[in-house]
Amino acid sequence: MTSRGKNPRRVGPLKIAHIVPNLHPGGPEIGLVDLATVAGAAGLELAVVALTSTADTTQVTALRRLGVPVAELGMAPWDPRVAAQTVRALRQLGGVQVVHTHLPQADLVGAAAAVRLRIPAVSTLHRVENEPAGRVDRLRRTAKILARQRFMARTLAISQVQREWYRGIGGPAGQIDVVPNGVLDPGPGHADTRQRVRSALDVGPDDVLAVSTAPMRRDQGHELLLDAIEALPDDVRLVVALAGEGPLRPWLETRTAGSTELDSRVAFVHRHHDPAGLLAAADMFVHISRAGALPTAVLRAMAAGLPVIATRVGGVPEIVTSGTGILVPQTAGPITDALVTLTDDALRGRLGAAARARFLDRFEAVGWARRLREVYEGVLA
């Protein structure tokens, strides 16, 4: 018997339907594959509804291999029929207890579907957005906030700074929980994988390998990173591997080929590289983005035991501390200095070990899944 005024903890798995705009690997990393991998340990059963389809089925295949039902509706963005199609997909899944939405389009559609099915909806904020420039954009943002207040049982921020941003634009702070995303623990890296990847990148045994996996877009700071690399002293044995894809890649490759300093230090990694293998081969991780609520790439680097050099933006300082890496401003000189500092083997070892310990304590996927279960139980109570 439970005491009066307290809600009993639910027994058995909770069935949660995650609604996303699409499952393209190049989109914002929501972490559904990580979550699905550990869902059972937290008593969760996942299903995914993607409003549009994608030609790159990497994530769809990974989810289905984990036994997660995936429905791709194939609808055009903002098609007026998409809410009805989402309701139909949720009914076909059967037994869905909570709808969990991600990103604005899915927020609106998922909220409408949840109301129709009379089940609670939870939404995760994934971005910290700039101030809208025009009156129409500001009105749209206000409408989204009001809709979230009206239809979402709970809104989740992934970092404290994101919660404060949402408060600042008029969002109701009392309805927001901070639940940082998590990633899978890769476990210890293998020496043969490390050697194989380093050899493929032409990294010598005495070289220090820094890795960046950021998408090659203008907001990710690649041009600033190249400025910093170009200023490195000649005697510093450092190689930087750039592993992202994006529209800026041709320009970055052209600039690198035209500079002796860059051409001798920068390696571009093929888009089909093994991300875990690349991190296992690295000695440090570099993230020079101009924004970010809680960059998953940084969490994966810390999980691999890498010290991190990152710009002091968004929620990054909630991940990277002075004990796990080096935070830098968005200027080339301090980035150059940080790169040189982390060529010290002993310092890298200490910071890397602390980074992995911090990951295990705060950002490991099983703990994330269990915190989400607590949220779901709360909205079902």
pLDDT in tens, 92-126: 999 999 999 999 889 999 999 999 999 999 999 98
Average pLDDT value for the chain: 91
Which pLDDT does position 189 carry in this prediction?
81
Task: Please check whether residues 307 and 369 belong to one and the same domain.
Answer: no
Which pLDDT does position 319 carry in this prediction?
96
Please give the Cα distance from 301 to 322 (Å, whole number). 16
| CA 241 and chain centroid, separation | 20
Task: Please check whether residues 120 and 157 belong to one and the same domain.
Answer: yes
What is the DSSP code (8-state) at residue 30? -
Please give the Cα distance from 268 to 212 (Å, whole number). 10
3-class DSSP state of 188: coil
Task: Please check whether residues 371 and 321 belong to one and the same domain.
Answer: no
Non-local (6+) Cβ contacts of 360 within 8 A are 185
Total-model pTM? 0.91
Q: What mean pLDDT is predicted for residues 184-208? A: 91
Which pLDDT does position 172 carry in this prediction?
63
Residue 328 placed within a domain: yes
Q: Which band of pLDDT confidence, cut at 50, 70 and 90, is reported for residue 267?
A: very high
Burial class (CB in 10 A: 0-12, 13-18, 19+), 87: middle
| CA 239 and chain centroid, separation | 25
Task: Please check whether residues 336 and 249 belong to one and the same domain.
Answer: yes
pLDDT at 288 exceeding the cut of 50: yes
Which pLDDT does position 8 carry in this prediction?
57
pLDDT at 140 exceeding the cut of 70: no
Which pLDDT does position 377 carry in this prediction?
97
Q: pLDDT tens-digit profile of 25-84?
A: 877 778 999 999 999 999 999 999 999 999 889 999 999 999 999 999 999 878 999 999
Residue 155: what residue type?
T
Which pLDDT does position 2 carry in this prediction?
42
Which pLDDT does position 29 carry in this prediction?
72
User: In percent, how much of the chain has pLDDT > 90?
Assistant: 75
Residue 331 placed within a domain: yes
Task: Please check whether residues 219 and 290 belong to one and the same domain.
Answer: yes
Task: Please check whether residues 103 and 140 belong to one and the same domain.
Answer: yes
Q: Which band of pLDDT confidence, cut at 50, 70 and 90, is reported for residue 162?
A: very high
Number of domains observed in the structure of the chain: 2
Residue 164 placed within a domain: yes
pLDDT at 332 exceeding the cut of 50: yes
Q: pLDDT tens-digit profile of 229-251?
A: 999 999 999 999 999 888 999 99
Please give the Cα distance from 25 to 59 (Å, whole number). 7
pLDDT at 3 exceeding the cut of 50: no
Task: Please check whether residues 169 and 73 belong to one and the same domain.
Answer: yes
Per the structure, the complete domain to which residue 328 belongs is given by 191-362
Q: Which band of pLDDT confidence, cut at 50, 70 and 90, is reported for residue 134?
A: low
Q: What mean pLDDT is predicted for residues 310-339? A: 97
Task: Please check whether residues 157 and 197 belong to one and the same domain.
Answer: no
Which pLDDT does position 4 carry in this prediction?
44
Q: What mean pLDDT is predicted for residues 180-189? A: 92
Residue 335 placed within a domain: yes
